[in-house]
Amino acid sequence: MLEVSSSKPLASESKGFAFWVELVAPGLPSAVIFGVCFNWTIEISLVVTLSALWLQNFLALCSSDYYDGTIFHRNIKGFMIQGGDPTGTGKGGTSIWGKKFNDEIRESLKHNARGMLAMANSGPNTNGSQFFITYAKQPHLNGLYTIFGKVIHGFEVLDLMEKTPTGPGDKPLAEIRLNRVTIHANPLAG
C-alpha cells in the first residue's frame, strides 16, 4: 500500500482523509496496493505486458520503497497530476537500470479519458521513475508518453487533487505525499 498524506487540507477539505489505490493487472492478481491518507479508494487497472520495461521498472521501484516519501510535485487543473520524483523538483528520478529507458507506446492506448496513468518524460525515450495521471482527455499526448494504466474507481479523489491550489511551477500548495508502497501480488513474480 502507498500512503499519501497532505501537510494542509486539500482544496476546501478541512478534515483528514485517506484513500487506497489498488493497481489491478487484467487477467492477473492485484499488482500493487497504494494506501493514501485520504479515506477514499482509487483503483487503477494496469496494462500488463510481461516483457514491458515500464512494468519491470515500476514494480521494482514500488517494491524497493523508491516512491516512499515522494510528493506529487506538479498539478495542473484540467490536465494532470505528476509524481514519482524523489527530489520533489520534477527534475529527478531514475529507472532501476540507472539510466533512461525507451518509450513503449502502443497505438491502441490513448489519453482519451480522465484517469489515464502514464510515464512522464522530458522527450522521446527518456523514461525514468516519474508518472502522471490525467484529469481529462489529452489527445495531444498520444504517441508521446507510455500509457500503463487507468483509474477505474475513485474519481472523487482525483477531483480533490485537481482542486488543490498550486503555486509557482504548478506545485501543490498543500503537499500531497506518497508515504509508502506495498506490492500485494506482482505479476512478474514466479
| Average of per-residue pLDDT across 1-14 | 36
| Domain extents in the chain | 3-182
- Residue 121: per-residue pLDDT: 96
Task: Using pLDDT thresholds of 50, 70 and 90, give the confidence band for residue 31.
Answer: very low
- Residue 69: per-residue pLDDT: 79
189 or 2, which is more confident? 189
CA distances from 78 to 19, 22, 43, 61, 103 (A): 21, 23, 20, 28, 25
pLDDT at 147 over 50: yes
Task: Using pLDDT thresholds of 50, 70 and 90, give the confidence band for residue 113.
Answer: very high
CB atoms near residue 59 (< 10 Å): 22
pLDDT at 94 over 90: yes
Range with top average pLDDT, 1-5, 44-48, 142-146, 154-158: 142-146
**What is the CATH number assigned to the segment(s) 3-182?**
2.40.100.10
Q: Which of 32-36, 64-68, 161-165 has the lowest mean pLDDT?
A: 32-36
- Residue 154: per-residue pLDDT: 76
77 or 19, which is more confident? 77
**Contact at 8 Å (CB) between 173 and 165?**
yes
Task: Using pLDDT thresholds of 50, 70 and 90, give the confidence band for residue 174.
Answer: confident
| Average of per-residue pLDDT across 68-91 | 94
Q: 138 Cβ partners below 8 Å, 6+ apart?
A: 79, 80, 111, 116
Q: Which of 34-38, 87-91, 140-144, 157-161 has the lowest mean pLDDT?
A: 34-38
Q: 123 Cβ partners below 8 Å, 6+ apart?
A: none
pLDDT at 136 over 60: yes
50 or 123, which is more confident? 123
